[in-house]
Chains A and B, each alone.
Chain A
Amino acid sequence: MEVVDHKTHNLENGQAAEEEEEEEVDENANVLQFMDSMDAYLTLIHSLSSNLRQGWLELASARHSMGAYRVNTVLLDHTSHSAATSLLVDEGKEPHFTLCKWGSSGNEKLFLGEEQSSRDKSHPQIRHRGATQLSEEKTTSENKASCEIDDPVQKERSKSLSVFGTLVSPKLRDAQLSFETALETLVEIANRRSEMICAFDKVNKKSGGSKD
């Protein structure tokens, strides 16, 4: 009888130890996820600062090249027109932001964001856009050939810049690309921040539970 009790006690101890170990692994995973999100967030902040500095300098360079009378706030378009870029916000358990670029002429908007397998599958699969080249992956919802999207995107870019004239300096186009990259980085920062907050909440819950 005593032997049976001892064996049962040992079994229960073993199960408790396993559960504790699993909890510790989960907690470590949550902490690691939080640290990873924070690291990515800080890297993106630094990248944004760098993109914006570059963009402002390129804009100043374009004003220097074309003249202050050609690159001027007074030329910006005040006629009513739809936004070239919009932001979709998914206010779920973990808020997610998706950037839709270059859709003002009625062309299908391009959805941009991170490409992570941990993303909710209900979001359209999105690609990471470089400066002027499309990435290789196609979105499941868009499903267009890369070369078919290039021309409309370039046309929309030129249309945005046409407020300053149709023959603009390459420096102005470079400034546009820098600010476009900065905008994409901003959206990524928002998504990382959302991840970070969720990971922090998980870590807090666990540590609050363990204190209890």
Chain B
Amino acid sequence: MYGFEAMTFNIHGGYLEAIVRGHRAGLLTAADYNNLCQCETLDDIKMHLSATDYGPYLQNEPSPLHTTTVVEKCTLKLVDEYKHMLCQATEPLSTFLEYITYGHMIDNVVLIVTGTLHERDVQELLEKCHPLGMFDSIATLAVAQNMRELYRLVLVDTPLAPYFSECITSEDLDDMNIEIMRNTLYKAYLEDFYKFCQKLGGATAEIMSDLLAFEADRRAVNITINSIGTELTRDDRRKLYSNFGLLYPYGHEELAVCEDIDQVRGAMEKYPPYQSIFSKLSYGESQMLDKAFYEEEVKRLCLAFEQQFHYGVFFAYMRLREQEIRNLMWISECVAQNQKSRVHDSVVFIF
């Protein structure tokens, strides 16, 4: 019952909430990012990260380092922390934690299917999958020729099975079908996660509704911008938007007919939370939109830690770590390419 979580939450969730708040204290600060932005080489970055929580994961990596190695090792740390929390969690927290990884599962399914379409080696594809999205029968994806087979042979036994009902066809898999499948699956996943959080109720429902609604709205904007100038029709575009969020349903109607970034801006500026995001951009520009959205997301995720006795902190922590890994990836790329003047284009400070 909302308001009485303080009485019962700690029985099953207290230990893990303390663990995740401890992990949150290990997130990189602005001072850490300032040091990293001044590095000349990737070995300098490794040296600075050795004093952080990432130290044990990078210390044994031989020089010369590669940017993908930095990202892989940092992701490994996140995976280890997640697995520790998952194995300690009881219901419904364990289901909640599993929901957080379904997005990566969808990405892995699409990676394997696309790579197989391009005649790539399955082992090679499996090595590139996100570790949080792995499941037992993932390698069998390579034998499927269409979505019906994909579902019947592999996905029927995975958590993604319920999301397939909207996109099962017998058409052979090609680039456009795969893209529509990816976005349809993700839409169904977000809606399911939203309903699950609503069922949990209390502070979890309140905080997660806000975070997931923002995610749905951001997806809608990205789908709109990425589909401008492509063969995706307005109806197909509209079908990929989630059925919840601040933009649902009138904002979606406007976004579905947008043909350029300025029309997208016109549709979004009617909503006060997004007006502040678009006010940071000049007309016709979309380069800094990603950073503006990430900054807004980080602000909302940090606010989740201001309240206790809810599951939103777990979601917020995972997303903040993923943002941190994105920051490290960007800094590493700028250092490797000797473009340090551009490093602040995409780094989002968390604290």
Contact = CB atoms under 8 A, between A and B. Distances in A.
Q: Do A and B belong to a common assembly?
A: yes
Contacts of A29: none
A69 B337 contact: no
A166 B232 contact: yes
A152 to B, nearest CB: 14
B107 A74 contact: no
B107 A170 contact: no
Given A167-B226, A168-B226, A64 B329 contact: yes
A57 B333 CA distance: 8
A8 interface: no
Nearest to A162: B175
B115 A74 contact: yes
Nearest to B230: A166
A67 B323 CA distance: 11
A69 B118 contact: no
Nearest to B342: A57
B282 to A, nearest CB: 15
Nearest to A164: B114
Contacts of A169: 222, 225-226, 290
Contact of A64 (B129, B179, B225, B290): B290
A163 B118 contact: yes
B128 A70 contact: no
A10 interface: no
Interface string A157-186: 010001101111111000000000000000
B339 A158 contact: no
Interface string B104-135: 00011011001100111000110011100000
Given A63-B329, A162-B175, A167-B232, A57 B337 contact: yes
A68 interface: yes
B138 interface: no
Interface in A52-73: 53, 56-57, 60-61, 63-65, 67-70, 72
**How many residues of B sit at the interface, in one of the four size bands?**
35 or more
Contact of B337 (A56, A74, A163, A171): A56
B229 A154 contact: yes
Contact of B107 (A56, A69, A166): A69
A133 interface: no
B236 to A, nearest CB: 11
B174 to A, nearest CB: 9
A105 B229 CA distance: 19
A25 interface: no
A150 B83 CA distance: 51
A123 interface: no
B183 interface: yes
A78 interface: yes
Interface string B317-340: 000000000100110011001010
Contact of B119 (A56, A78, A165, A167): A78
A60 B330 contact: yes
Contacts of A78: 118-120
Nearest to A79: B119
A61 B346 contact: yes
B232 to A, nearest CB: 7
A145 interface: no
B10 interface: no
B226 A75 contact: no
B166 interface: no
Contacts of B231: 158, 166
Contacts of B330: 60, 64
Contact of A68 (B71, B114, B175, B230): B71
Given A166-B176, A166-B179, A65 B128 contact: no
Interface in A23-69: 53, 56-57, 60-61, 63-65, 67-69
A153 to B, nearest CB: 12
B68 interface: yes
Given A61-B346, A79-B119, A170 B226 contact: yes
A165 B179 contact: yes
A173 to B, nearest CB: 8
A52 B182 CA distance: 32
Given A60-B330, A69-B107, A167 B223 contact: yes
B218 to A, nearest CB: 12
A53 B338 CA distance: 9
Interface string B212-229: 000000000011011101
Q: 6 tightest CB-CB pairs across the interface, nearest first?
A: A60-B333, A167-B226, A162-B175, A166-B179, A77-B118, A78-B119
Given A53-B337, A60-B337, 9 more contacts: A57-B334, A69-B108, A78-B119, A154-B229, A162-B175, A166-B176, A166-B230, A166-B231, A169-B226
